[in-house]
Amino acid sequence: MGVCVSETIELKMLNSATFAKMITDDVANSGNRITYLDAVEDFLARNDEVEPETIASLIQRNQKLKALIYDDAEMLNLVEKTSAKLPID
């Protein structure tokens, strides 16, 4: 990965909205070369003091980020596709 450019934040202040913005910014700054799943994995690699369960909780609380990650998982065939989608931008 290594494309991330997010600044270091105080992890005690991390909430679902802040985390979602960091992940979304990382994907945008990469020129969409990485997926949201990759951005979360990179965040965990850079912040080894954060438990994956904490990140899972933050993702569960942010429905937009959760949907983006689920779309990535569908695209990568990690989960079954829930419905047919038209390629509309």
Mean pLDDT by 10-residue block, N- to C-terminus, for the chain (89 residues)?
Answer: 47 83 95 94 91 93 95 90 70
**pLDDT score, position 50:** 87
Question: pTM of the prediction?
Answer: 0.75
DSSP 8-state secondary structure symbol assigned to residue 44: H
Exposure string for 14-44, b = 16+ CB within 10 A, e = fewer: bebeebbebbbebbeebeeebbbbbbbebbe
The pLDDT of residue 2: 47
Residue 59 neighbours by CB distance under 10 Å:
20
CB 24 within 8 A of CB 59: no
